[in-house]
Amino acid sequence: MKNLFPQHAMALAVLAVSVVASAQSTELPDSWSVLTKITHKRTYCIETRDRRCRLGKITEITPDHLTANLYNSTPGASARVTFPRADVLRVTDGLATYYSGRSSWSDVIVLRVAGRARLKIVTKVGKTYNVKPPYGVSDEGMTLHASGKLMAIPKGEIARIYYVVARPLTDFGEYAIGELGPMIVFDPDWYVYSLHLERYVSVLLYDASGLEDDSPAECLRPGH
């Protein structure tokens, strides 16, 4: 063990932490609490129910509100703004959604699951399916490819659908993986993603027990 390179020791440490974390995260969390589990050292798009979208970094999450330092038109400047939870429609990083404040079948239809992400489908009789592409979603339900066979699940039998996605990198971590070259071995984020040790969060997109909202989720342009 004395001859292990420092980066190998780091990888083992990351592995140990990830195994413990996986053992402690068997239950699907409340959707809002996911925002406490993702990094706050990353730029997110916060979309409110009036379809306004603001870019910034989250500074605080409480049961009732989200506070963020938002970027404004002045270079390098930001403004601290607090959003009531009831006003927050979505929180995304431009690629993945980490919070949805509505139950929307249309959001499931337009979602493009890629990479190591997946869907978790829970039926009303308690069955759970972990789904990766290829699969199909229509107004009537979902079609899964299981063991080489097609299986249809009518929408009326589905209780909840979660988007299971890896926790995002920090802004610097994403930059480092793309720009540091060989020096990336000194960044712990590299070990997490290269060894497939990233941790995941479950984002609730559809809940049959709630009021369904299938209106288009898109940001209004400034001035509208």
**Residue 151, in any domain of the structure:** no
Using H for helix, E for strand and C for coil, what is the string for the chain?
CCCCCHHHHHHHHHHHHHHHHHHCCCCCCCCHHHHHCCCCCCCEEEEECCCCEEEEEEEEECCCEEEEEEECCCCCCEEEEEEEHHHEEEEECCCCEEEECCECHHHHHHCCCCCCCEEEEEECCCCEEEECCCEEECCCEEEEEECCEEEEEEHHHEEEEEEEEECCCCHHHHHHHHHCHHHHHHCHHHHHHHCCCCCEEEEEEEECCCCECCCCCCCCCCCC
**Residue 131, in any domain of the structure:** no
**Residue 75, in any domain of the structure:** yes
* pTM, to two decimals: 0.77
**Residue 83, in any domain of the structure:** yes
Q: Indicate which CATH number applies to the domain containing 59.
A: 2.30.30
**Residue 24, in any domain of the structure:** no
**Residue 143, in any domain of the structure:** no
**Residue 197, in any domain of the structure:** no
Least trusted range by pLDDT, from 5-14, 102-111, 178-187: 5-14
**Structural domains counted in the chain:** 1
Give residue-wise pLDDT tens across range 120-143: 999 999 999 999 999 999 999 999
The domain in which residue 75 lies consists of 31-102
**Residue 119, in any domain of the structure:** no
